[in-house]
Structure formats: structure tokens, C-alpha cells
């Protein structure tokens, strides 16, 4: 292994400590940031994420409001809850865990959230603000990736950045953020021709496709910085394991720096959610 490890776990711990300090200052002024998380249904992975979000929210000194609704909840009932959370002054951030059950229109639900409380940054207003370079709520996973890239590389301007994956949650906002840093940005996806060649041009390679170890070391430019957003559950030698979208063993022999899975991007996502909640609280209170 020649690549430097970008340690998301310790980076996230530092960010959480900074958030907790900020929360203490706000509390001294009589203001406690509050985050509401809504989970519909019983998806086990979502339940784990929601539990972790609640725990870390409380550890940071904030108020956590958890709303668990059965999978067959009518959409109108979820929209009512969102309206109540929008109107509640003790709630500064609202997150509706995705995916939602199939009978619900996720876009409709997300766009019912007050954009100022949309700590996921998924509301169409926040998407538009980010796309036009204006102050917005920034989606947590891409924000965490950008923080680690800036910390590791400093100025990103002029670098070739390739984002593999075009999801609304990661790929598209990641590309917007990198463009905002004056990178030359390519978004690649499942239909991209000669993906290997496109990846080899990247000074910064962000992999967010959700396919275990699909990017091998020989697709990586020597010295590149690799951010692996993938968290894929696989079985290796009969044991369950988490792997990224990048083949870590071969990539870490070529890259200049790389995030591990687990312990890279994952811990940064919740830390950024806490930071976004504090940002929303501060903006709501001048």
C-alpha cells in the first residue's frame, strides 16, 4: 500500500466535537438545535441509520425527535406530519429517511419540507440554489466528501474530477460542489463509454455507484485522490463484509490517497447532518 489513508472516522469525530462546541454556545444563548428524523416502514438498514442519527444528535447536545410510522401509512398522513414539523419552532432540521414505501411520492414529500429545514439538501429549491452557486443546504454525503478533499488537497481549482454515479443524493450534488471549487468535472455513469479511460484522467475520483469493488486499481491515475462513497454488503469467505465501489487492495497501490470502507465517507455523512442542523438553527434565528 502506497496511498495515504483519508481517515473519515477521525475527521468526523473532530467535526462532531466542533458541532458540539457550537451547540453549547447556542444553548448558553437559550437556543437548542433540534433535528426531526422520520422513518416510514421497517427497513433494517434504515432503522440502523436512524438510530445512529438520533444517538449522535443527542451526543452533540441537540434535541432529537424521532417519528416512526408504519409502512402502510397514507401519504397524506406523512405530509401532515411534515407540515407540523415545519411549523414547530423547536425543530430546525427535518430528515425523511429514504427510500419511502412505493405508494408514496418521495419528490412530493421532500418538496413539502420547509427548504430552510431541509438538512438533507434534497428540496428542489436547495438543488436549484446549489446549482446556481447560491447559499443553500448542501447534501450531507457530498459535503463530507468535499471537506475531506479540501483538507487533503487544499486548493482544488483546475483539477480533473470524475464523479462516477449520477444520483440526486450523491453524484449530481458532488459534481456541483466540485464545479464550485473550479474543478473540471465529468459525471460518468453506467452508460459511459470506456469508463476505465475516463477514470484514468481523474486527479480526483469519486465513486458513488453502489456496485461492490467495480473500480480496479488500473483505472486510477497514479497519485490520484480517491473518495469511495460505496457501502456494499457482500459475503467473503462465508463472512459478511462491507466493501466500497473501489477495489481497495489494488487501488491503494496506485492512488495518492484513498478513503477506506468502512471508516471513510460513511462517518462523515451523519457528522455533516449535525453540522447542517446547527447551520439551519443559526439561519432561522438570525
Site for ligand GUN, rule CB under 6 A: 95-98, 120, 140-141, 169
Residue whose entry in the numeric block shows the C-alpha cell 440526486: 168
Cβ 140 to ligand GUN shortest distance, Å:
6
Q: Are 255 and 225 contacting, i.e. CB atoms less than 8 angstroms apart?
A: yes
Compute the least distance from the CB of residue 229 to ligand GUN, in Å. Answer: 10
By annotation, the residues acting in catalysis are: 53, 97, 120
Comparing CB distances to ligand GUN, the nearer of 96 and 281 is 96
For ligand GUN, which is the closer residue by CB, 120 or 213? 120
Other C-beta atoms closer than 10 Å to the C-beta of 201 total: 14
The DSSP string of 114-138 is: -GGGBTT--SHHHHHHHHTT-S-PP
Q: Write the CA distances from 218 to 12, 31, 78, 159, 224, integer angstroms.
A: 30, 52, 47, 20, 12
Our separate counts of H helices and E strands in the chain read 10, 11
DSSP, collapsed to helix, strand or coil, labels residue 186 as strand
Helix (H) or strand (E) holding 63: strand 63-69
231 is in an annotated binding site: yes
Q: State the residue number with the nearest CB to ligand GUN.
A: 98
* 247 and 218 Cβ atoms separated by less than 8 Å: no
Q: Is 167 annotated as a binding-site member?
A: yes
Tell whether residue 113 is among the known ligand binding residues.
no
What is the smallest separation between the CB atom of 36 and ligand GUN, expressed in angstroms?
12
CB of 97 to ligand GUN, least distance (A): 5
Is the Cβ of residue 118 or residue 247 nearer to ligand GUN in the bound state? 118
Whether residue 160 contacts residue 203, with contact meaning beta carbons closer than 8 Å, is answered with yes
Q: Nearer to ligand GUN by C-beta: 38 or 224?
A: 38
Instruction: Give the residue numbers of the binding site for NADP(+).
Output: 165-167, 231
Amino acid at each position: 500500500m502506497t496511498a495515504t489513508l483519508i481517515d473519515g472516522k477521525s475527521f468526523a469525530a473532530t467535526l462532531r466535537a466542533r458541532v458540539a462546541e457550537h451547540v453549547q454556545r447556542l444553548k448558553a444563548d437559550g437556543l437548542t438545535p433540534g433535528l426531526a428524523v422520520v422513518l416510514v416502514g421497517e427497513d433494517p438498514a434504515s432503522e440502523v441509520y436512524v438510530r445512529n442519527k438520533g444517538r449522535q444528535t443527542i451526543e452533540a447536545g441537540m434535541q432529537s425527535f424521532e417519528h416512526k410510522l408504519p409502512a402502510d401509512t397514507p401519504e397524506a398522513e406523512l405530509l401532515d406530519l411534515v407540515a407540523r414539523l415545519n411549523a414547530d419552532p423547536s425543530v430546525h432540521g427535518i430528515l425523511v429517511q429514504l427510500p419511502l414505501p412505493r405508494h408514496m411520492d418521495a419528490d412530493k414529500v421532500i418538496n413539502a419540507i420547509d427548504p430552510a429545514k431541509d438538512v438533507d439538501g434534497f428540496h428542489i429549491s436547495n438543488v436549484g440554489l446549489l446549482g446556481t452557486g447560491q447559499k443553500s443546504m448542501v447534501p450531507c454525503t457530498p459535503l463530507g466528501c468535499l471537506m475531506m478533499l479540501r483538507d487533503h488537497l487544499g486548493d482544488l481549482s483546475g483539477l480533473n474530477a470524475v464523479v462516477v454515479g449520477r444520483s440526486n443524493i450523491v453524484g449530481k450534488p458532488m459534481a456541483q460542489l466540485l464545479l464550485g471549487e473550479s474543478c473540471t468535472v465529468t459525471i460518468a455513469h453506467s452508460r459511459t463509454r470506456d469508463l476505465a479511460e475516463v477514470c484514468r484522467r481523474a486527479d480526483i475520483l469519486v465513486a458513488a455507484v453502489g456496485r461492490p469493488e467495480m473500480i480496479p486499481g488500473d483505472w486510477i491515475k497514479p497519485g490520484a485522490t480517491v473518495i469511495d462513497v460505496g457501502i456494499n454488503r457482500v459475503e467473503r469467505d462465508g463472512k459478511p463484509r462491507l466493501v466500497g465501489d473501489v477495489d481497495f487492495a489494488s487501488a491503494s497501490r496506485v492512488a495518492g490517497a484513498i478513503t477506506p470502507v468502512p471508516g471513510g465517507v460513511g462517518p462523515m455523512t451523519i457528522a455533516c447532518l449535525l453540522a447542517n442542523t446547527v447551520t439551519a438553527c443559526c439561519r432561522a434565528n438570525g
